[in-house]
Amino acid sequence: MIRKKKNYVKPKQIFEAGRIEEENVLKEKYGLKNKREIWKTLAIVNYFRRRAKELARAPLEEQEVFFSKLRAIGLNINSVVDVLDLKVENILDRRLSTIVASKGVANTTRQARQMVVHKKILVNGKVIDSPAYLVPIALEEGITKKEKLKSPKELRETKTENEDMTEEVKEKIE
């Protein structure tokens, strides 16, 4: 069995009042399940920063490829300085649950998260059940609520209506 490695790093100081207050505010604002989601997002931001530092001395073409990928996600990036200035909130704003709430499909971010987890949200016709999914700008318009299927009673009623219609058609043909 292959073990997955952690994709986040716990804070060095466990009890740091300022950090804990900031995390609590973020957790409430974005409807996060726990603080581990904040740490994962911070790991993503740190990855982008580390990558930008590596590309600082690289040719402009390589930098532009990296910047275009970040722009596709929906981040306003034009230079290495912009990448180094990224914050956790910038990534949290691009999560599926946050965008569902901001589009008005759900009333709150918590409700949006629940809808995503319960597979009630479609992105371009496909069900995405991860609230942490980073939505590219190109797919943002394709976010819709899944339509409710008909109940078995309604299906039976439509079936009998269809049978009546086929009998009428058969009579007309004869």
Interval 20-31: pLDDT, tens: 999 999 999 999
Closest CA to 143 of 114, 106, 107, 169: 106
Interval 125-156: pLDDT, tens: 999 999 999 999 999 999 999 887 766 766 66
126 part of a folded domain: no
112 part of a folded domain: no
Whether residue 10 is predicted with pLDDT greater than 60 in this model: the reply is yes
41 part of a folded domain: yes
152 part of a folded domain: no
The tokens describing 139, both together, are 């797919």
Cβ neighbours for 56, distance < 8 A, ≥ 6 positions apart:
80
Closest CA to 11 of 2, 22, 3, 19: 19
Instruction: Tell the residue number behind the tokens 């219609």, with chain if given.
Output: 165
109 part of a folded domain: no
49 part of a folded domain: yes
Pairwise CA distance, residues 150 & 4, whole Å: 41
20 part of a folded domain: yes
Q: Which H/E stretch holds residue 62? A: helix 60-73
Domain that holds residue 58: 1-90
- What is the pTM (predicted TM-score) of this model? 0.80
Domain count, the chain: 1
Pairwise CA distance, residues 142 & 45, whole Å: 26
119 part of a folded domain: no
Whether residue 164 is predicted with pLDDT greater than 60 in this model: the reply is no
SS3 8: coil
